[in-house]
């Protein structure tokens, strides 16, 4: 059998056909255009899914289920997206509405949970019964897997690890609170800090790589400057790694999963990221005795589709 | 059948006989004298247990198991206390050693986990499948229950919620790190802050109640002064509640249990504690939508014995 996975994002809707072993056979995307009426978005999801199956020569009778990963508060019992700040959705019965077009079992889960589930089943955490996948991107997302199951929280609001506060009265976060981990550990935070710092260091390699335009600064430029031996970039990154380490240490102090998986664009740095972050985790965990594995994610942007698809196949590979 | 529960503390060893429904039938204590050789301590545990059964007219054949709650890192699989800073123990095979005296199934678990387990089975969280019990005392302890099971962490180091960092570069904690939740939310922290503040306010009711001696200040005195309408005490407590709220909000942002139970001496304040703490939790959780119940613990000091005893009865009542 095959499993359809839909990754509903703020910019694009991505759909994939996934095989029994968690491989994406074929996939396609269409713009979300999130300002539309939700019925229009869901109709597009249905049409895209049916077209993908047709293009892949897979008949509907060979599809076991559809899984949807969506930002926000997703009620997996009712199939309702209760709230999404990103997509401006409130109490949308997406399962019911999508089933009007395609009569298959439909599963709904928060997108960060889908990504964590995928890493746990067929990705970097597949050898571990418990894992937490942290995604460092525009924000900081997270999904918690314990005993091979997604921990969504009692009311589907769990896993918001980016918004746990590491610095009371600290930097303002997009959520309105101050001092959230996201305000220090996201790629956005790295860029903000870099802009702040290099104002005082016009000779930094970062300025050269960004053509002396603050608006051109990306996370990659900071990593590239550090690779060139630029001390300013090295210091900025060291401070950034420290903040990543503090948040992960907090999670380990609380839950101690077998593995913590770091995803998002930043994770392309692999060992250059993992080694210093591990050093800081050891510094900040309770007894300094780090036993959890710290690894980079394996599935990249595919994690959302794969995890959503595999919601219909609730077993460990 | 009956269940023996042993609460191994830094000061006392407490043993209780617990019935099927989680009630303590009879209990007794003896000093731990933790500087002794561990074999001596375990011999005392065995003798105390056997004497308690004799005094209670319960023959050993009616005892299903013995559960031990100990501070530190307890490996429930091997029955070894791997590390306890409190009791100065390192890799003590307590299960093996106690079984030499009493040949019954023996279970071992961290003491804060035992307390949380007891509250979850027969205490304030008995209606909830997932709960976190936070104990605000000399330190801040915690136990996590998900799906009616204790989440000990993959390597028995989870649940150290008191040592998650809420204030990078903040106040030094007993663990050596800075800015741990414990350094702000423990009773010890409340007393420390009170001493700091009232130096500048000699007319505070707190000074009167403590006979102008900083060493006499207890948490209870601060609460009593606030009850008398003392503005200084009210402000100190408001700040304290805020810190309690931040840590609980962090836990809810990460795990969102059905209920958070607050135990320890402070919890005697009941609604005077719960109402302001809830206000701050709402302020600091991601979307302000607090759905988890916040309640005071029900079992008090008995939780340790009851939870340890019920380790042998791994079902929900």
Q: Which long-range contacts (CB under 8 A, 24 or more apart) does A236-242 make?
A: A236/A190, A236/A193, A236/A194, A236/A197, A237/A190, A237/A276, A238/A276, A239/A193, A240/A184, A240/A185, A240/A189, A240/A190, A240/A193, A241/A273, A241/A276, A241/A277, A241/A279, A241/A280, A242/A280
Overall size of chain B counted in residues: 317
Q: Using pLDDT thresholds of 50, 70 and 90, give the confidence band for residue A316.
A: very low
Q: Which of B142, B146, B160 sits opposite A146 (nearest CB)?
A: B146
- In SS3 terms, chain A reads as CEEEEEEECCCEEEEEEECCCCCEEEEEEEECCCCCCHHHHHHHHHHHHHHHHHHCCCCHHHEEEEEEEECCEEECCCCEEEEECCCCEEEECHHHHHHCCCCCCEEEEEHHHHHHHHHHHHCCCCCCCCEEEEEECCCEEEEEEECCEECCCCCCCCCCHHHCECECCCCECCCCCECECHHHHCHHHHHHHHHHHHCCCCCCHHHHHCCCCHHHCCHHHHHHHHHCCCHHHHHHHHHHHHHHHHHHHHHHHHHCCCEEEEECHHHHHCHHHHHHHHHHHHHHCCCCCCCCEEEECCCCCHHHHHHHHHCCCCCCC
Token reading at B39: 């074999």
Query: Among residues of chain B, what percentage have pLDDT more than 90?
Result: 90
Q: How much is the pLDDT for B314?
A: 67
Mean pLDDT of A239-265: 97
What residues form DSSP beta bridges with B73? B83
Which residues 47-66 on chain A approach chain B with CB closer than 8 angstroms? none
A203 and B CB contact within 8 Å: no
What is the CATH architecture assignment of A2-120+301-310?
2-Layer Sandwich (3.30)
Find the closest chain A residue to B168 by CA distance: A167
- Are the C-beta atoms of residues B316 and B10 closer than 8 Å to each other? no
| A165 to B160: CB separation less than 8 angstroms, yes or no | no
**CA-based nearest distance A143→chain B, Å:** 9
Q: For residue A167, list chain B residues with Cβ-Cβ distance below 8 A.
A: 166-168
**How far apart (Å, rounded) are the C-alpha atoms in residues B14 and A251?**
32
Please write the tens of the pLDDT for every residue from B132-169: 999 999 899 999 999 999 999 999 989 999 999 999 99
Sorted by sequence, the CB contacts under 8 Å of residue A224 that are 6+ apart come out as A205, A209
Question: For the segment A76-104, what is each residue's pLDDT rounded down to a tens digit?
Answer: 999 999 988 778 889 999 999 999 999 99
B193 in contact with A at a CB cutoff of 8 Å? no
For chain B, give the longest Cα–Cα distance: 63
Check pLDDT > 50 for residue B316.
no
What's the token pair of residue B240?
Answer: 């304290």
> pLDDT class for A138, splitting at 50, 70, 90?
confident
A266: contact with B, CB 8 A cutoff = no
Query: What is the reported pLDDT for A84?
Result: 86
- Give the Cβ contact number of residue B147 at 10 Å: 12
Taking a C-beta distance cutoff of 8 angstroms, is the pair B303, B297 a contact? yes
pLDDT mean over A266-274: 95
pLDDT > 50? residue A67? yes
Prediction pTM value? 0.94
In whole angstroms, give the CA distance from residue A290 to residue B183: 22
Phi–psi pair at A247, nearest 5 degrees: -65, -40
Q: What average pLDDT does range A110-119 have in this prediction?
A: 96
Q: How many Å from the N-terminal Cα to the C-terminal Cα in chain B?
A: 15
| Cβ-based neighbours of B71, under 8 Å, separated by 6 or more | B8, B9, B10, B84, B85, B86, B87, B110, B111
Tell whether A252 lies on the interface with B, counting CB pairs under 8 A. yes
Residue whose tokens read 């309640």? B295
Q: Between the CA of residue B256 and those of A164, A262, B163, what are the distances in Å?
A: 12, 22, 19
Sheet order of strands, A24-31 included: A24-31, A12-18, A2-8, A63-70, A106-110
Q: Which of A153-157, B58-62, B87-91 has the least mean pLDDT? A: B87-91
Determine the pLDDT at residue A107: 97
The shortest C-alpha distance from A82 to chain B (Å) reads 12
Residue A315, number of CB atoms within 10 A of its CB: 7
| pLDDT band at residue A226 using 50, 70 and 90 as cut-offs | very high
A159 with B287: Cβ contact below 8 A: no
Sign of CA dihedral B263, B282, A255, B88: negative
Q: A128 with A120: CB under 8 angstroms?
A: yes
Residue B86 clears pLDDT 90, i.e. is over it: no
pLDDT of residue A164 exceeding 70, the answer is: yes
Using the Cβ of B256 and the Cβ atoms of chain A, whether some distance falls under 8 Å is answered with yes
- Asked if residues B290 and B282 have their Cβ atoms less than 8 Å apart, the reply is yes
Supply the CATH classification number for the domain A127-296: 3.30.420.40
Q: Tens digit of pLDDT for each residue in B219-252?
A: 999 999 999 999 999 999 999 999 999 999 999 9
* Mean pLDDT over each residue of chain A, to the nearest integer: 95
Rounded CA-CA distance B293/B121 in Å is 16
pLDDT tens-digit map of B257-289: 999 999 998 999 999 999 999 999 999 998 889
**ipTM strictly over 0.90?**
yes
- Residue A200 corresponds to which tokens in the numbers above? 């005082």
Where along chain A do the CATH 3.30.420.40 domains lie? Answer: 2-120+301-310, 127-296
Going by pLDDT thresholds of 50, 70 and 90, the confidence category of residue B84 is confident
What per-residue confidence (pLDDT) applies to A89? 87
Distance CA A183, CA A170 (A): 9
Segment A123-128 shows an average pLDDT of: 97
Cβ-defined contact of B287 to A155 (cutoff 8 Å): no
Has residue A193 got a pLDDT over 50?
yes
Are the C-beta atoms of residues A187 and A265 closer than 8 Å to each other?
Answer: yes
pLDDT at B174 over 90: no
Q: Which residues of A touch B142 (CB under 8 A)?
A: 254
Residues from chain B that touch A156, judged by Cβ atoms under 8 A, are: 256
Sequence-distant (≥ 6) Cβ neighbours of residue A86 within 8 angstroms: A10, A34, A71, A72
Size of interface A-B (CB pairs under 8 A): 142
Average of per-residue pLDDT across A260-280: 96
B72, B90, B168: best to mutate for the A interface, most A CBs within 10 A: B168
Q: How many CA atoms lie within 13 A of A14 on its CB side?
A: 20
Tell whether A178 lies on the interface with B, counting CB pairs under 8 A.
no
Tens digit of each residue's pLDDT (9 = 90 or more) over B163-173? 999 999 999 99
Tokens of A303: 């994690």
Whether the CB of A268 is below 8 Å from some CB of chain B: the reply is no
Based on its alpha-carbon atoms, the radius of gyration of chain A, rounded to whole angstroms, reads 20
| Cβ contacts of A254 on chain B, cutoff 8 Å | 142, 144, 158-161, 164, 251, 254-255
How far is residue B178's CA from residue B209's CA, in Å, rounded to a whole number? 32
The answer to whether residues B132 and B140 touch, using CB atoms and an 8 Å cutoff, is no
CA distance A279 to B139: 26
The partner residue sitting opposite B157, judged by closest CB among A151, A163, A286, is A286
Contact status of A148 with chain B (Cβ, < 8 Å): no
Share of chain B above pLDDT 70, in %: 99
Q: State residue A133 phi and psi, 5-degree precision.
A: -105, 120
Q: Is the pLDDT of residue A160 over 50?
A: yes
Q: What is the pLDDT of residue A88?
A: 83
* Distance (Å) from the alpha carbon of B259 to chain A's nearest alpha carbon: 9
Of B142, B154, B160, the CB nearest to A130: B154
> B303 near B123, Cβ under 8 Å?
yes
């Amino acid at each position: 059998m095959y499993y359809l996975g839909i990754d509903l994002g703020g910019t694009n809707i991505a759909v994939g056909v996934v095989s029994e072993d968690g491989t994406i056979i074929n996939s396609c995307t269409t713009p979300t255009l999130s300002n539309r009426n939700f019925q229009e978005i869901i109709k597009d999801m249905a049409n895209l899914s049916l077209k993908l199956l047709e293009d892949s020569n897979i008949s509907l009778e060979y599809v076991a289920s559809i899984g949807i990963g969506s930002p926000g508060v997703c009620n997996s019992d009712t199939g309702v997206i209760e709230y999404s700040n990103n997509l401006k959705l409130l109490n949308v019965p997406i399962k019911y509405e999508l089933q009007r077009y395609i009569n298959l079992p439909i599963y709904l889960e928060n997108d960060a949970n889908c990504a964590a589930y995928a890493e746990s089943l067929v990705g970097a955490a597949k050898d571990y019964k418990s894992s937490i996948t942290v995604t460092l991107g525009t924000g900081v997302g997270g999904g918690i897997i314990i005993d091979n199951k997604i921990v969504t929280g009692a009311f589907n609001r769990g896993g918001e690890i980016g918004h746990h506060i590491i610095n009371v009265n600290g930097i303002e976060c997009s959520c309105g609170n101050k001092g959230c981990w996201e305000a220090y550990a996201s790629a956005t935070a790295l860029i903000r800090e870099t802009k702040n710092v290099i104002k005082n260091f016009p000779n930094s390699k970062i300025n050269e790589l960004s053509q002396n335009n603050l608006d051109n600064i990306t996370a990659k430029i900071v990593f590239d400057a550090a690779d060139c031996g630029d001390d300013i970039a090295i210091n900025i990154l060291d401070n950034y790694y420290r903040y990543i380490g503090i948040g992960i240490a907090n999670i380990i102090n609380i839950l101690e999963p077998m593995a913590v998986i770091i995803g998002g664009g930043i994770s392309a740095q692999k060992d250059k990221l993992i080694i210093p972050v591990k050093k800081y985790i050891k510094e900040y965990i309770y007894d300094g005795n780090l036993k959890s594995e710290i690894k980079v994610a394996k599935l990249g942007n595919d994690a959302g589709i794969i995890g959503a698809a595999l919601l219909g196949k609730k077993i460990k590979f």
